């Protein structure tokens, strides 16, 4: 279905543009039809994206594998507890920087400490990002239509951005801070505006570590534009609010294991090999074939012909491309690592197509830029079943909670972390957080002592204990496969709880399905 729709959108564009080419010497109304068709496609993309945001915000379980654990971080932030304490069986921090949780605290006072609040905060970040993209493109093209194309493509890329911008994650605000800081610097109104932009770019780092690349991009641009002496204030600001604050105050502000989880853990994941390039360029070819070429052309043309007129976006284009490639060094990462790169492809790619429509007689005559836009929208077409929420989700959640309450004992759900209400799992250590501590090139994931220690209450429970897993335990991750030595599969719920499925992204993390019971007779001890 997805491939058929992509083909249909591309075919429509090709037909319209080919007919326009054939009638180029005569007055033709097809160009106007093509413009209106693209406007309709952009408008529908925006409406569909908005519908998905509204549909997702109240979903009762996890839209993404880590939402339940991110909610635990949020709860600790709201209560002003350390976000990165020593790991326990009930809470193992993730490797993200903390600003998303801190930013969400005021919203918790109004809307409560729940997943809907976190998703709402993410949606605000996504809206801010789309607004910046629109303002930049409209400002540089002086055209509302080209602005519509940019924000339409941004909305259409919902699935290409791995459906992360409206989930309880920091990606939307990493993007919003990176774009907003760059936009403020690009305005060049005053040194104080530039300083505000730099501070905003540093905030991008505190949302997610790759934001450091955009702070560096902003610094290099200001240094290039204003000179080393006038840029000294910006460098001091970045160093003070970035590495100095991180190194000397991180553990004090956010918990004793802040550096461990945000630096030591993620740095052990990187692996450089040929697969990095295959994934990187394969993703670009699938999702941004035309926009990537157009943005590269804009970047190259600026370097070659207008070096004295380079803009902040030329520098941030490099930062975004590097961020995307760095994401591939972690082979287990989702495609959300490409969100900033994809957004810069859209922003600069649309500007490139606009320039083509204005400066190339061939493009003006044969409307090549229209075909390029049709192909760009077609590349973003996705299967809606992967991101639509079942209308039976709430009923299924009630059934799910009822099932849990009828179990006489503790329940450990390694794929769910912790629920936002109605029932509490114990332990609540998400398998992702457990695996993160022990995975990396050349490292053995299986049967790690630290994982066994944290799951000791599952291995040697003091009362009846169950495991509820989205997949068979041995298929979830090798890090917890040893639990098969202690538990016996009791029930396969089949598709009973399928309405509670996570959104299908690069990975399909499924839905609650397999119930295991602790069996003392099978229990074996490992050294």
pLDDT in tens, 305-318: 777 778 999 999 99
Q: Sort residue 196 into left (φ over 0), alpha (ψ -120 to 50) or beta.
A: alpha
Higher pLDDT, 11 or 161: 161
Contacts for 408 with CB less than 8 Å, ≥ 6 apart: 464
Please determine, for residue 219, whether its predicted confidence score (pLDDT) is greater than 70: yes
Mean pLDDT for the stretch of residues 22-51: 79
Residues 476-480, mean pLDDT to the nearest whole number:
94
Asked whether the beta carbons of 347 and 150 are under 8 A apart, the reply is: yes
- Check pLDDT > 60 for residue 427: yes
In tens, the pLDDT along 316-328 reads 999 999 999 999 9
Is the N-terminal amide bond of 427 cis, ω within 30° of 0?
Answer: yes
What does the pLDDT average to over 402-411? 96
**Is the pLDDT confidence value at 2 over 70?**
no
The count of other CB atoms within 10 Å of the CB of residue 289 is: 16
Of 241, 233, 230, which Cα lies nearest the Cα of 201?
241
Q: Does the pLDDT of residue 30 top 80, yes or no?
A: no
- Checking if the pLDDT of 135 tops 70, the result is yes
Q: Does 522 have pLDDT greater than 90?
A: no
For tokens 């699938």, the residue is: 286
Residue 415 has pLDDT above 50, yes or no: yes
pLDDT at 25 over 50: no
| Phi, psi of 193, deg, nearest 5 | -65, -40
pLDDT over threshold 90, residue 517: yes
CB-based contacts of 109, cutoff 8 Å, min separation 6: none
Where in the chain are the domains? 2-56+95-386, 393-522
Q: What is the pLDDT of residue 26?
A: 47
Which residues, 6 or more positions from 433, have their beta carbon under 8 angstroms from its beta carbon?
Answer: 69, 87, 92, 93, 94
Q: Between 523 and 340, where is the model more confident?
A: 340
Q: Which residues contact 118 (CB under 8 A, 6 or more apart)?
A: 67, 70, 71, 74, 104, 168
Beta strand 410-412 with 514-518 is unpaired
Torsion of CA 509, 478, 514, 406, to 10 degrees: -110
Nearest-angstrom CA–CA distance, 18 and 367: 9
What does the pLDDT look like over 53-110, one tens digit per residue? 999 999 999 999 999 999 999 999 999 999 999 999 999 999 999 999 999 999 999 9
- The percent of residues in the chain predicted with pLDDT above 90, rounded, is 84
Please give the distance of CA 64 from its chain centroid, rounded to a whole number.
10
400 pLDDT higher than 90: yes
Per residue in 253-270, pLDDT (tens digit) is 999 999 999 999 999 999
Would you state the pLDDT for residue 35?
85
321: enclosing H helix or E strand: helix 312-328
Listing DSSP states for 99-152 in one string gives HHHHHTHHHHHHH-SSHHHHHHHHHHHHHHHHHHHHHHHHHHHT-HHHHHHHHH
**Cβ contact 53:123 at 8 Å:** yes
Helix-, strand-, coil-residue percentages of the chain, each rounded to 5: 65, 5, 30
Pairing of strands 487-492, 465-469: unpaired
User: In the prediction, which pLDDT does 16 show?
Assistant: 53
Residue 307: C-alpha distances to residues 218, 225, 294, 301, 360 (Å): 17, 11, 18, 9, 21
- 347 with 317: CB under 8 angstroms? no
Residues 348 and 223: beta-carbon distance below 8 Å:
no
pLDDT confidence tier of residue 367, bands split at 50, 70 and 90: confident
Q: Looking at the predicted structure, is the pLDDT value of residue 40 above 50?
A: yes
- Mean pLDDT over residues 185-189, rounded? 93
Average pLDDT score over residue span 16-32: 56
Confidence class of residue 235 from pLDDT cuts 50, 70 and 90? very high
Q: How confident is the model at residue 357 (pLDDT cuts 50, 70, 90)?
A: confident
pLDDT tens-place string over residues 148-175: 999 999 999 999 999 999 999 999 999 9
CA dist 422 and 399 (Å) reads 12
Instruction: Please report the beta strands in 324-388, taking only residues with DSSP state E, as ranges in sequence order.
Output: none
| Tokens of residue 233, six digits | 């204030």
Quick one: average pLDDT of 6-27?
A: 53
User: Residue 32: what pLDDT?
Assistant: 77
Give the integer Cα–Cα distance in Å for 216 and 197.
12
| C-beta separation of 357 from 145 below 8 A | no
Its pTM surpasses 0.85: yes
Contact 319, 204 (CB under 8 A): no
Rounded Cα–Cα distance for residues 465 and 519 (Å) = 9
């Amino acid at each position: 279905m997805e491939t058929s729709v992509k083909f249909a959108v591309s075919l429509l564009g090709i037909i319209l543009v080919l007919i326009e080419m054939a009638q180029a010497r005569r007055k033709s109304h097809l160009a106007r039809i093509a413009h209106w068709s693209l406007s309709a496609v952009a408008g529908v993309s925006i409406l569909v994206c908005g519908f998905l945001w509204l549909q997702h915000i109240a979903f009762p379980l996890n839209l993404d594998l880590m939402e339940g654990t991110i909610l635990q971080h949020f709860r600790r932030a709201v209560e002003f507890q350390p976000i990165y304490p020593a790991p326990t069986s009930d809470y193992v921090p993730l490797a993200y920087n903390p600003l998303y949780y801190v930013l969400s605290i005021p919203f918790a006072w109004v809307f409560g400490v729940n997943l809907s609040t976190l998703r709402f905060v993410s949606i605000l970040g996504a809206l801010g990002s789309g607004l910046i993209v629109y303002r930049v493109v409209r400002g540089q093209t002086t055209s509302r239509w080209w602005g519509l194309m940019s924000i339409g493509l941004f909305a259409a890329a919902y699935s290409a951005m791995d459906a992360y911008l409206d989930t309880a994650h920091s990606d939307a605000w990493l993007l919003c801070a990176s774009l907003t800081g760059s936009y403020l610097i690009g305005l060049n109104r005053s040194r104080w505006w530039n300083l505000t932009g730099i501070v905003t770019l540093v905030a991008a780092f505190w949302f997610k570590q790759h934001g450091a690349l955009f702070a560096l991009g902003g610094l290099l641009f200001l240094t290039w534009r204003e000179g080393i002496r006038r840029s000294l204030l910006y460098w001091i600001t970045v160093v003070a609010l970035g590495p100095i604050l991180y190194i000397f105050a991180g553990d004090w502000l956010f918990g004793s294991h802040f550096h461990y989880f945000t630096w030591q853990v993620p740095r052990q994941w990187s692996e450089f090999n040929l697969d990095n390039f295959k994934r990187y360029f394969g993703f670009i070819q699938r999702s941004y074939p035309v926009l990537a070429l157009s943005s590269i052309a804009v970047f190259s043309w600026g370097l070659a012909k207008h070096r004295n007129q380079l803009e902040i976006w030329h520098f941030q284009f490099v930062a975004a491309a590097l961020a995307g490639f760095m994401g591939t060094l972690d082979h287990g990462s989702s495609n959300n690592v490409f969100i900033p790169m994809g957004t810069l492809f859209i922003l600069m790619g649309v500007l490139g197509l606009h320039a083509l429509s204005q400066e190339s007689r061939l493009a003006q005559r044969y409307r090549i830029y229209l075909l390029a836009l049709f192909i760009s929208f077609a590349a973003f077409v996705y299967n809606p079943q992967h991101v639509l929420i079942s209308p039976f989700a709430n009923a299924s959640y009630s059934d799910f909670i009822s099932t849990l309450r009828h179990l006489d004992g503790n329940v450990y759900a390694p794929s769910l972390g912790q629920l936002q209400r109605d029932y509490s799992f114990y332990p609540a250590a998400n398998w992702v957080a457990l695996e993160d501590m022990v995975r990396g090139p050349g490292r053995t994931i299986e049967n790690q002592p630290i994982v066994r220690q944290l799951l000791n209450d599952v291995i040697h429970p003091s009362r009846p204990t169950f495991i509820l897993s989205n997949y068979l335990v041995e298929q979830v991750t090798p890090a917890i496969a040893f639990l098969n030595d202690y538990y016996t599969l009791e029930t396969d719920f089949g598709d009973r709880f399928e309405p509670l499925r996570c959104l299908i992204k690069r990975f399909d993390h499924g839905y609650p399905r397999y119930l295991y019971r602790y069996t003392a007779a099978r229990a074996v001890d490992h050294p």
